[in-house]
Amino acid sequence: MRRMGRAIKAGLLQVHSIAGLVLALMLSLIALTGAIMSFEDEIGDYLNGGILQVAPRQAPALMPDELVARLKAGQDAGKVTAVTLSSDPSAAVHVRFGRDEQGVRPASLYVDPYDARVLGSPRGEEFFATVRRLHRWLLIPGDAKGWGRQTTGIAALGLIVMLISGLVLRWPRRAGSVKMWLKPNLGLSGRGLHRSLHAVIGTWVLPIYLVMTLTGLWYSFDWYKDGVVRLLSRPQVAAAKMQPKQPRAPGHPEPAQAVGLDRAWTTFQREEGDRFSRALLALPAGPGTAIRIRSWGKGSTLDTTRDEFRVDAATGQFVSAERYADKTLGEKTIANLLDIHRGAILGWPGKLAFMIAAALMPLFAVTGVLLYLSRRRLRRPAQPPLGQLVPGE
């Protein structure tokens, strides 16, 4: 039995080492970019404090269509795809644009809601957009439609294998001792210190890494997403979410209609009153007149805690309404996956803990490589000194 246990541990060590050597650089890159994005919202608010607010006035704010028309008349900004409006009379309007013919997306703009005066583009937006593409798709062409999405998913699966195998390999004889689990031996040096840091700090961050990987897989594999939806959603909700999109007939594209925002915005305001703090109105990407509206309540502290509506821009009628308060616990978990992934579900302390854990990933890469090299040296048969050789050897 003991011999079998040793054989199993030897096999796990091989799996753990090979996965670590293959994925160390990629996992470090994904983790470091995630750490950089941990406080993106706070950094953005600090860098752009001068363009996020305006002086409130007695005059009513412009309706969305007039605001967009004035903005386009003042400059060639491209096709508007989304407008974020606020119930706060001192908040600027955030306008986003679609990609041009070369596939380049113009920088978004903050605009005065009373006269459509351009206040400026948010600083740091392009930097964080690049970091996000590196984190999610490794800057591989195609973004979410390319193979970078599956590559990061494979890396996440590899990390799960390393976490489980690492936990089994370091299981101490005195498993009930907190000191054995959580206290590194800093009095050691060389291979002993590397092993202690790798194992003990790995134990500290293991729960966080598991949360990161299990939620990150949602964005990599459709089969994983469908499984989570089936597991956590009500049957009718799961069936609606997994409904395949109707493909367009090749060679016969439907003509896109000119869609305005005013009617949808008026309907939304009439329905929601003063319950919302801000709302994002997204124009349809293709043919159709349904405008998607994401709404955040005044008490909302998380970006994912929001209501979603679809309003027909032609008739002003609600097509669908999905309120966060009406979701089950499982459906709220799905809605909050991004904030769970980055620790924001626990407030700023959770974001800080997840950021530190992500920033520590290179430590495991370095110590893991050093431990692998030291094992190779120990296994190498010692060569006898030249002075001890006899003729014929």
Predicted local distance difference test score (pLDDT) of residue 161: 96
Flag whether pLDDT at 175 surpasses 90.
no
CA distances from 238 to 318, 330, 334 (A): 21, 11, 11
Between 375 and 68, name the one with better pLDDT: 68
Percentage with pLDDT > 90 across the chain: 69
Helices 148-169, 125-137: inter-axial angle, 10-degree rounding: 70
Report yes or no: 358 and 256 within 8 Å, Cβ to Cβ: no
Predicted local distance difference test score (pLDDT) of residue 383: 57
pLDDT digits (tens, 9 = 90+) for 223-270: 999 999 999 998 888 777 766 655 554 554 544 556 789 999 999 999
Mean pLDDT, residues 165-171: 90
Predicted local distance difference test score (pLDDT) of residue 257: 58
Predicted local distance difference test score (pLDDT) of residue 387: 53
pLDDT digits (tens, 9 = 90+) for 184-232: 888 888 999 999 999 999 999 999 999 999 999 999 999 999 999 999 9
Identity of the amino acid at 361 = M
pLDDT digits (tens, 9 = 90+) for 29-80: 999 999 999 999 999 999 999 999 999 999 999 999 999 999 998 887 788 9
Q: How confident is the model at residue 285 (pLDDT cuts 50, 70, 90)?
A: confident
Structure tokens at 306: 């929001």
Which residues, 6+ apart, have CB-to-CB distance to 59 below 8 Å?
A: 114
Residue 197: left if φ>0, alpha if ψ -120 to 50, beta else—which one?
A: alpha
Domains of the chain: 2-40+133-210+350-377 (no CATH), 50-122 (no CATH), 222-244+258-349 (3.10.450)
CA 80, CA 259: separation in Å to the nearest integer?
Answer: 11
Instruction: Provide the H-helix boundaries in 37-63.
Output: 40-47
Flag whether pLDDT at 129 surpasses 60.
yes
Predicted local distance difference test score (pLDDT) of residue 393: 38
Q: Which long-range contacts does 92-98 make (Cβ < 8 Å, 24+ apart)? A: 92/51, 92/52, 92/53, 92/54, 92/119, 93/67, 95/68, 95/71
Identity of the amino acid at 190 = G
Q: How many CA atoms lie within 13 A of 185 on its CB side?
A: 13
Identity of the amino acid at 385 = P
Which residues, 6+ apart, have CB-to-CB distance to 70 below 8 Å?
A: 62, 115, 116
Predicted local distance difference test score (pLDDT) of residue 277: 94
For the whole model, what pTM was predicted?
Answer: 0.87
Flag whether pLDDT at 389 surpasses 70.
no
Structure tokens at 286: 């293709």
Mean pLDDT, residues 92-121: 92
pLDDT digits (tens, 9 = 90+) for 303-360: 889 999 999 999 999 999 999 999 999 999 999 999 999 999 999 999 999 999 999 9
